[in-house]
Amino acid sequence: MTYQDVLSAPTYERRFFLATLINENTKKQEVMEEKIQESKTSNSKGSRTTTVSGNQLKAKLKSGQIPN
């Protein structure tokens, strides 16, 4: 529906159109939030749970805790 069509439509049609548009956007937002939550909870490649400083990393490499 174009903007001009919305303006020329009766009030009840405008309300229906706006309600439908709001529902569609809400559903899209929920789907996006679910995808974000799934990506956060899964152990996908590149997700980091802990950080190691440079000096700690060097010490672990020297001690053999982390293989080269």
Calpha distance 11→14 (Å, rounded): 5
Q: What is the pLDDT of residue 44?
A: 58
pLDDT tens digits, 5-62 = 888 989 999 899 889 999 999 999 999 999 888 877 765 566 666 777 888 888 888 8
Among candidates 55, 37, 39, which has minimal Cα distance to 47? 39
Show the tokens assigned to 56: 């700690």
pTM of the model: 0.51
Going from the C-alpha of 13 to that of each of 5, 10, 24, 26, the distances in angstroms are 10, 5, 16, 20
Domain ranges of the chain: 1-41
Calpha distance 3→6 (Å, rounded): 5
